[in-house]
Chains A and B, each alone.
Chain A
Amino acid sequence: MTTPPTASLAPRSGLPVLRTLRLLGGGWLVRVSAVILVLFVLVAALGPLLAPQDPTFGDLENTLVGPSAAHWLGTDQGGHDTFSALIEGTRTSLIGPLAVVLSSTVAGIAVGLFSAWCGGWVDAAVSRVLDILFAFPSLLLAILAVALFGKGITAPVLAMAIAYMPYTARLVRGLTVQEKTRPYIAAYQVQGHSPVFTAVRRLLPTIGPTVLAQSTVNFGYALLDLAALSFLGLGVQPPTPDWGAMINQAQAAILQGQPLSAIVPATAIVVVVVAFNIVGEHLGDRLAGRES
């Protein structure tokens, strides 16, 4: 009893976007999340071009108005247009986490590869250092950085990159230790290739996808941490628009029963983080399925 051959999974036509979506796989939820993320990235890139008004302009005659033709999502305490602030805030809110994840991933890969490749006491020493770093929560380090260097996002981003690095480093180290025992690595060494060559050309592509999956989820955490920092007034400073800062500024409005200027950025944060989590977990599942 044979089953008829299934239709080929590689679409021959269709927009590149749709083709990539089909490659990504997963159910409708994953695809919707991916689309949402792409949308937000586009908004971040185009930012000021899309905002109908200047969010730093406070129209004091129209504070705390509800949704209207002039202000699609209303205004906040100071008369700033919520919709424009949301759009321009996308860039600031997404760039910080991106910087954190990029730097911590690169540093983590370097440290993890180095540690696992050297083995012996170097590996043990690095592991102890990582253990110590694990004891420092990322938000706490960010707050300490602000205490030392002043408010803003440069210092916190660096501090958070240091806090996130051990997670990637430990993952990379574990994977490398496993891969190192495989014969193809020894084959490269016998052929006389330098360790760096072997690591970059052969190890990285193998462990890359798993690291990517974890980094995607980390992006969500970094976003939450930086938004929290801005909420505390320690991160992005006004008048630069930022989702976390927007929520902070809306606190008085909440007490007056007008939470819209807080709910809008809050929803944005939750939606983006959920989307990252869904896509990241799906990537992780696919890789696990592929390897099993």
Chain B
Amino acid sequence: MSARLETARAVAVAALRRLAGMAATLLVTSFLVFSSLYLAPGDPVSFLIRGRSPDPQELVALRHRYGFDKPFPVRYWNWLDGVLHGDFGQSYLFHQSVAAVIWSRLPSTLLLVAVSTLMIAVVGVGAGVVGALRRGTRTDSAVLLMVTFGAAVPSFVAAIVLRSVLGVRLGWFPTIGNGTGTLDRLHHIVLPAIALSVTFMALVTRVTRSAMLDELRREHVEVALSRGLPRRTVVRRHVFRNALGPVVTVSGLLVSGMLVSTAIVETAFGMSGIGSLLVQSVDELDFQVVQAIVLLVVAAFVVVNTLVDLLYPLIDPRVAAAGSAR
């Protein structure tokens, strides 16, 4: 019994160590994002108020956050403190706090990412499984073709093709905006979600197919068949289950790519969300919004990847053992 307790303790220690690493990474990346402002030409405060005329209180607040009246580490600390309390500064374009602006547009982007993820999971993984099981047949060739082209079709190309064919020519889907009401919103989100998923679907299909082909060759699959289990059961319990590892790892990397691509898709479809907000803010020289979004995207990437790392031992127990043996 104590052996199991030992392993549990080791797993917990490894998890804590991983979380501490995550915190350190978040700290460093936030520092980098904070410091990026100082790369801009000129002094930071005048950079931030380019083309605008803020009132004196805002100017004082800005000088306090970014000005030279305090040493650099202290300025970073104050900024970080603000960020952790939800204060990302002010948006000049919207005359609101950055946090409020982001918060109002976050749900739309989250919905888009969620629908895309669902598509990638179902179609991407499904196609990979089918391709592997029917390797060498025409179905597999179709899957490989889809992978090659999907990997080369960027979201903006997919967007214009979808818009012109399914939107304008056939009129099946709306081409602009978010829509109102649940059903209408879903209707509006189909084309953008597909445009967003194309490249990532290709990647997931490729990884899934490759992992499944690897696992199909393993001897324990033959052993299971030799015990009289139906082929479908063996594929589910021993091939697919074992192929999950690489697929899950890849998904962690997908997240940041998808978040950034929302900028393209939302702009192409005239939707209002975090992605289009990013582009808008760059256009309108609203740097504090840009900085906040960059920070959030990078933080999301770090957190999601840490979660994937922590969940991995559940998929492959050998990893847990290796971790605790260190």
A interface residues with partner B (beta carbon < 8 Å): 131-132, 135-137, 139-140, 143-144, 146-149, 220, 224, 227-228, 231-234, 244, 247, 250-251, 254-257, 259, 262-263, 266, 269-270, 273-274, 277-278
Contact = CB atoms under 8 A, between A and B. Distances in A.
A126 B294 CA distance: 23
Given A143-B263, A233-B283, A254-B164, A274 B149 contact: yes
Contact of A143 (B40, B148, B282, B301): B282
Contacts of A231: 156, 264, 267-268
Nearest to A273: B152
Given A228-B264, A233-B283, A263-B161, 20 more contacts: A135-B29, A135-B305, A137-B257, A137-B259, A137-B297, A137-B301, A139-B261, A143-B278, A146-B282, A149-B40, A228-B154, A228-B156, A228-B261, A247-B156, A266-B161, A269-B152, A269-B154, A269-B157, A270-B152, A278-B148
A254 B175 CA distance: 10
A217 to B, nearest CB: 9
B256 A135 contact: yes
Contacts of B148: 274, 277-278
Contacts of B160: 247, 250-251, 254, 259, 262-263, 266
Nearest to B286: A147
Across the A-B interface, the 4 shortest Cβ-Cβ residue pairs: A273-B152, A259-B164, A274-B152, A266-B157
B28 interface: yes
Contact of B263 (A149, A220, A232): A232
A155 to B, nearest CB: 10
A135 B152 contact: no
A234 B280 CA distance: 10
20 contacts: A131-B25, A135-B29, A137-B256, A137-B297, A139-B260, A143-B263, A143-B282, A144-B36, A144-B294, A148-B37, A232-B279, A233-B283, A234-B283, A250-B160, A251-B160, A255-B168, A259-B160, A270-B157, A273-B151, A274-B152
Contact of B279 (A136, A234, A256, A269): A234
A135 B22 CA distance: 11
B149 A147 contact: no
